[in-house]
Structure 1
Amino acid sequence: MTNLPFFTKDQDAFIPTDAARGPWDPNSLHGRVIIGLLAFAIEQRHGADDFVPARLTVDMFRLPTLAPIEVKTRLVRDGLRIKVVEADFFSGGVAMARASCQLLRKTENPQGNVWSPPNWEVPAPSDIPAPTDPRLGMNGKWTTRPITGAMGTVGPRRLWMSEVRDLVEGAALTPFVRVAVAADFASPFANAGDQGLGFINSDVTLYLYRLPVTEWIGFEVVNHHATSGVAIGECWLHDEQGAIGTSTVAALAQRNPMANPGQRDVMPPKP
């Protein structure tokens, strides 16, 4: 990719570029790059071809600035069939987020048939015109191909998303990092209403039964519920060959809802 990456490297530190800025504060990071960088470090240090990163949970409890980033990882369990990794995200030396990842070894499915939902039947990204509104890609952070509905509309919502820049300079996007960077989009896509985006997610949990094999990630809203200012939102995730997993978020009500949810996807100022 030729677009400016989200991070450059200076020895062990990750240096945010202008592309990593978030929508809430020009001197803060976008949530998607926090999730992506934690996934990047976990995969680089502990991943293996015969393991699937079946679950990644990221807690985002502070708003990082554009200070140099350090990610520390710890191998909690290194078993024959399961690995568990923890990672901490430090901005300017202060802990801002943390992740837990469970990696499962590939093997054969057991005998027998188990019911699964039917695969979605939607146009391929190449058959959908590119949107003319730059806000749908947050002015160049990603690109989309809308399928059905939109944030804030009543009814089903589906779209394709693809990255337009690398996460870390000199490191091509892997399938795991690609879907991890995108996963945060489940928050605005599932939680935006007819009055705008009134919920801000504090975490993301990504479940994968396989990694994507194409550049496009499909999002399909399947759940949103909220009471007393606490919400959950969930999207099924797809690639061009079928379902790959889910992205689920927990969220808090925001005092000043964003009227145009197409302009952001996560990471408000933290309380």
Structure 2
Amino acid sequence: MSAFYIPDPDNPARFESTDLTIGPWSPNAQHGGPPSALLGHAIERCEPREGFQVGRVAVEILGPVPVASLEVRARVTRPGRSVELIEAELVSDRGPVMKANAWRFKTAEPPLDIDESLLPVGNRPGPEQARAHPFPSDLPVGFHTAIDYRFVSGSFDDPGPAVCWIRLRHPIVEGFEPSPLERTLAAADSGNGVSAVLDWSKYLFINTDLTVTLHRMPVGEWICLDAATYPQPHGIGLAESSLFDETGPIGRSTQALLLGRR
């Protein structure tokens, strides 16, 4: 397998899912990262405009995404001179399985004169200073075998907050170099996994959404999640991640969580 999705040569909106998309909860359902990135792939190609950049993507997970043929539809629903709203939908033979809204902004040209002291700063130890850690899955192939996890702090065996670098080993779509947005969306959906606080063998903690806000696009292959999960006894939780590349902060992501016993 060379990619998470294989494009249909006869239908540019249709993609065949490979086993690299398989998630940790079921061999028949995808991890949320690859289909979120596939939506990003479609959003960036929807009526592209020079000098515009996606600043926020909100993904709604409507149900399990099957490891099957999928169709992606995207359209501009709120056009504008400086900001526009794009809606995208991921559809299986059972109907819509994911939806996304994305705000696309016109970038300032020339750049604004902003005092550098106001810009977000700080970074985390880089991936070369982190340690690899295998994902806790018995499946021979899946999303966990298609990316690199490297932990600066925490691990899949240590409950609680974690700082983890993530890198794709394969393209999201065969024949296309992953874009910075695709890399970020694919990685950000792992926030609740890398910072899990509940026992994997006893509990489910499934995210119903993923919201990623970026003040700049990442540079390079690696995305860092400084992640924490906050569970509640009534079965609703939150995972949030500060996002970094190797040069500094790029944004933030959040996930609403459904908690339950296995």
TM-score normalised by the chain length of structure 1: 0.83
Q: State the 1:19 CA deviation.
A: 1.4
After superposition, the Cα gap between the structure-2 partners of 1:117 and 1:225, relative to the gap in structure 1 and judged at 3 Å, is farther
Q: Percent identity?
A: 29
Matched with 1:195 is 199
Q: Helix, strand or coil: the match of 2:53?
A: strand
Structure 1's unaligned 5+ residue stretches are 257-271
Matched with 1:182 is 187
**1:104-253 counterparts in 2 under 5 A?**
104-107=105-108, 108-109=111-112, 111=114, 115=118, 118-122=121-125, 124-131=126-133, 133=134, 135=136, 139-151=144-156, 153=158, 156-190=161-195, 192-196=196-200, 198-222=204-228, 224-226=230-232, 228-253=234-259
CA contact (8 A) 2:23 2:143 kept: no
How many residues end up aligned between the 2 structures?
Answer: 251
Q: State the 1:25 CA deviation.
A: 2.2
Q: Which amino acid aligns with 1:217?
A: I
After superposition, the Cα gap between the structure-2 partners of 1:155 and 1:34, relative to the gap in structure 1 and judged at 3 Å, is closer
Q: Helix, strand or coil: the match of 1:39?
A: helix
Matched with 2:56 is 55
Q: Helix, strand or coil: the match of 2:45?
A: helix
Q: Helix, strand or coil: the match of 2:34?
A: helix
Q: State the 1:134 CA deviation.
A: 5.5
Q: State the 1:96 CA deviation.
A: 0.9
TM-score normalised by the chain length of structure 2: 0.86
Q: State the 1:126 CA deviation.
A: 2.5
In the alignment, the residues of structure 1 paired with residue 161 and residue 41 of structure 2 have an alpha-carbon distance, to the nearest angstrom, of 32
Which is worse superposed, 235-244 or 108-117? 108-117
Matched with 1:259 is none
Does residue 44 (structure 1) correspond to residue 45 (structure 2)? The answer is yes
Q: State the 1:207 CA deviation.
A: 0.4
**Alignment partner for residue 7 of structure 2, among 5, 9, 34?**
9
CA contact (8 A) 1:6 1:18 kept: yes
RMSD over aligned CA atoms reads 2.4
Matched with 1:103 is 104
CA contact (8 A) 2:161 2:229 kept: no
Matched with 2:82 is 81
Alpha-carbon displacement from aligned partner over 1:205-263 (angstroms, at most 9, x marks no partner):
0000111011110110256253521111100000001000011000111221xxxxxxx
Q: Which amino acid aligns with 2:100?
A: A
Alpha-carbon displacement from aligned partner over 1:62-108 (angstroms, at most 9, x marks no partner):
11223311111121122111010001110115111100000111113
In the alignment, the residues of structure 1 paired with residue 218 and residue 75 of structure 2 have an alpha-carbon distance, to the nearest angstrom, of 26
In the alignment, the residues of structure 2 paired with residue 222 and residue 110 of structure 1 have an alpha-carbon distance, to the nearest angstrom, of 34
CA contact (8 A) 2:164 2:194 kept: no
In the alignment, the residues of structure 2 paired with residue 70 and residue 31 of structure 1 have an alpha-carbon distance, to the nearest angstrom, of 16
CA contact (8 A) 2:204 2:259 kept: yes
Q: Helix, strand or coil: the match of 1:180?
A: helix
